[in-house]
Amino acid sequence: MGTGSREDNASRQNNLACIVVAKQNNALQISALDDAAAHLGLEIGQPLANARAICPQLRVFDADEAADARALNVIADWCDRFTPLVALDSPHGLFLDITGCAHLFGGEAALMQIICEALTRQGFAVSAGIAGTSICARTMTRYVSGKIIRDGAEADAVWPLPVFALGAEDAIIRGLRRAGLKTIGDVASRARHEITARFGADFTTLLEQALGQGDAPISPRKPLPDYIVEKRFPEPIATEGVIAATLSRLAQMLVTAMDQQGKGARRLEAGFFRTDGAVRTIVIDTGQPVTRSGVMDRLFRERLDALNDPLDPGFGFDLIRLSASRTEIVVQQQRDLDANVHDNDELAALIDRIAARIGGRRVVVHLPQDTHIPERAVLAAPAQHQLAAAMHATWPARVEGEPPLRPLRLFEKPEPIKVPFATVPDGPPHHFTWRRANHAVVRVEGPERIAMEWWKHNGQTLTRDYFRVEDEAGLRFWIYRDGLYGSERVTEEGKPAPPNWFVHGLFA
């Protein structure tokens, strides 16, 4: 009876055993495994052939590092609800700086329990620990879960742990074991210069950080916002009215906090945390510092109404957070009775609303550039950030009564035209073909010679001769010849080649 039971258990383990393999050193090795595979004696780093010899019915999956990275980032987004300081510990770990946050969840033990239980319900295997240094906490989680190490007790906590808990390279771990150093305490009892001479300074630094004798600062995924306000719900919310009302209250709280220091928000981020772990973040940039909650409400309404993928609450949001990730000091300006003084503010508000709906990169202003190259004479810049520069920009003056020197419509990329070589003197063509339409030139103005910037073109110093031409139908074109006629281009036979002609813009 007992033998049959053991065989049944072994059979169930064989059916459930799963491993993930990755190619390392030109061989497939185990990179991850489940509990059933571990009970069979399989280990990470073991060759796949050896694993199949132990368990022929093993279920094998190929490693997908990109998918693992995406999943880790999703978990990190979910962990933002507990602290804004979340750092990646690739490939499978996260660091959470919970300094000053644990009391909001009933203490460190309660916070760790909440996180572990929630991630377990989502289908993840979790090992967690809390310590004064990040390396000590990570070392503990590699061997035991749920431990809280008080400050100053790091060395005592990691002393009995096996050396693999340090997370060093496999070659170092094998070297330690061959030397008879099986625990972290065995390694720590040796002189530091001995450890450094054999295993390197990086390993010595790692050992000291695990013992609490040094610390490695974490690098959070996102910079800490200047101001954060949030609302947690005992029961998830899903209705648009409640969500909008919550955002409005949070906006008022945010404005009050910023007003105490005389600041306004230039970038707002609203985070919506669903009960199933999904997180949705909406970002809004503004051209001027925002100091009124009503403006924030209007911008978020515009952004939410323009979403291609509506804000899906699923089973509801249990946390809504509003933060100002970029702020500026608000300069109080004295206003007079002239209504034109407020035009700039109204224009900036209009740009913010349009940018919130269609995106800030699609609302641009044009700035003049100090160059004579036509396609580089204008720079399209985001209107929210360059509105003041555009309003004070100085454009080339136009002579009164003279026709425009530049076309009303300038092509982003000049389009080639066909010109009969036999009819091309050292001036403009009499006929040309553009977009499969023939044009007979009846009037010409030019040429206007423009030389390329030789220091930016790798020695190519082609010049352009621009002509303003009009065809028999009254259409006016801005065309140019690329290179001097018969001097800068030659054929394979060494004869002068016809220059290339392009149309660069239209006057009407």
- CATH number, domain at 40? 3.40.1170.60
Say how many C-beta atoms besides its own lie within 10 A of residue 261's C-beta. Answer: 11
Beta bridge partners, 319, equal: 232, 273
pLDDT recorded at residue 8: 41
Mark whether 81 and 132 lie in a shared domain: yes
Total structural domains within the chain: 4
Mark whether 118 and 191 lie in a shared domain: yes
Mark whether 92 and 190 lie in a shared domain: yes
Q: Tell me whether the omega of the peptide bond preceding residue 403 falls within 30 degrees of 0, making it cis.
A: no
pLDDT recorded at residue 341: 52
Mark whether 199 and 300 lie in a shared domain: no
93, 86 Cβ separation under 8 angstroms: no
pLDDT recorded at residue 334: 52
51, 19 Cβ separation under 8 angstroms: yes
| Residuewise pLDDT in 10s, the chain (508 residues) | 333 433 344 444 445 789 999 988 788 888 888 888 888 888 888 888 888 888 888 889 998 989 989 999 999 999 999 998 999 988 889 999 998 888 888 999 999 999 999 999 888 889 999 998 899 999 999 888 989 999 888 999 999 999 988 888 888 888 888 888 899 999 999 988 888 988 889 999 999 989 988 888 888 988 889 999 999 998 999 888 899 999 999 999 999 999 999 999 999 999 999 988 888 999 999 988 889 999 999 999 888 888 777 788 888 999 999 999 999 888 765 555 555 555 667 888 888 888 888 888 888 888 888 777 787 788 888 888 877 777 777 777 766 766 677 888 888 889 999 988 655 556 788 889 999 999 999 999 888 888 877 666 565 557 888 999 999 999 999 999 887 655 555 566 666 667 789 999 998 6
Is 176 a member of any domain?
yes
Is 372 a member of any domain?
no
Mark whether 271 and 246 lie in a shared domain: yes
Residue entry with tokens 């323009």: 306
Mark whether 316 and 432 lie in a shared domain: no
- Centroid of chain to Cα 53: 44
d(CA 211, CA 184): 9
Q: Which two tokens stand for residue 342?
A: 């407020």
Is 218 a member of any domain?
no
Is 110 a member of any domain?
yes
Boundary residue ending a domain (276, 302, 331)? 331
Mark whether 45 and 76 lie in a shared domain: no
Mark whether 86 and 201 lie in a shared domain: yes
Mark whether 324 and 295 lie in a shared domain: yes
Boundary residue ending a domain (331, 353, 374)? 331
Domain limits at 118? 67-210
Is 365 a member of any domain?
no
List phi, psi (to 5°) of 276. Answer: -90, 5
Is 222 a member of any domain?
no
Pick from 484, 469, 495, 482: nearest CA to 426: 484
| CATH code for the domain of 290 | 3.30.1490.100
Mark whether 261 and 284 lie in a shared domain: yes
Is 498 a member of any domain?
yes
d(CA 478, CA 408): 10
Is 173 a member of any domain?
yes
Cβ neighbors of 498 (< 8 A, separation 6 or more) are: 419, 421, 424, 489
d(CA 357, CA 143): 50
Mark whether 59 and 73 lie in a shared domain: no
Q: Please give the span between the terminal C-alpha atoms of the chain, in angstroms, as a whole number.
A: 97
pLDDT recorded at residue 3: 36
Boundary residue ending a domain (271, 301, 331)? 331
pLDDT recorded at residue 115: 92
Mark whether 95 and 200 lie in a shared domain: yes
Q: Which long-range CB contacts under 8 A does 487-496 form with residues at least 24 apart?
A: 488/462, 488/463
Estimate the share of the chain in helix, then strand, then coil, as percent rounded to the nearest 5: 35, 30, 35
